[in-house]
Amino acid sequence: MKDTGMIRSLDSLGRIVVPVEIRMTRNIEIGDPIEFFILNDEIIVLRKYTSTECTFCRSLDHVTYYKDQFICNTCLKELGDPSRIPEEAEPLQEANGESSDPARSGRRTRTEEMSQRLEKAMADHPYANQKALAEVLGISQARVSQLKRKISPSGK
């Protein structure tokens, strides 16, 4: 254990100030929760508390620890397989004309990829209705309908 050489007095309410040097080097911000440990029944150790909530959505369910971060199953899936993002995350206006904003190009790629998968599914199952196609692709019927309009805008 390293002696920092820093000494602080308790104030009248029992509070101590964590020296700014320690806060800066330990990456502790004002308002961060601090955990207390007792070492060998006499030494008090302070540690920045790391919550086990998901880094991205703050969910506490099905959280996995990966490279110093906690990530929930849902966010993990989104990261690993962008084409299967839960449908409620898809904006509804997507089918009505693409935005030329470069920031949206990632989403456009996913739409194109899903369109291609739909085209293939339609070729494989020429008599499948939208419900069946939706099940094959793991998306909603509304999404199939959107994509179909995109593939053949005039409608067949």
Size, binding site for Zn ion by CB under 5 A: 6
Give, as ranges, the residues between 57 and 86 that touch Zn ion (CB under 5 A). Answer: 57, 59, 72, 75
Of 71 and 134, CB closest to Zn ion: 71
Q: How do 34-39 and 63-66 pair as beta strands?
A: unpaired
Q: Which residues contact 96 (CB under 8 A, 6 or more apart)?
A: none
Total residues belonging to the chain: 156
Q: Does 117 sit near Zn ion (CB under 5 A)?
A: no
The whole-angstrom separation of Cα 144 and Cα 87 is 12
* Choice between 72 and 147, CB closer to Zn ion: 72
- Under rule CB under 5 A, which residues in 31-60 are in contact with Zn ion? 54, 56-57, 59
Q: Taking a C-beta distance cutoff of 8 angstroms, is the pair 49, 34 a contact? A: yes
Nearer to Zn ion, 75 or 139 (CB): 75
Per CB under 5 A, residues contacting Zn ion are: 54, 56-57, 59, 72, 75
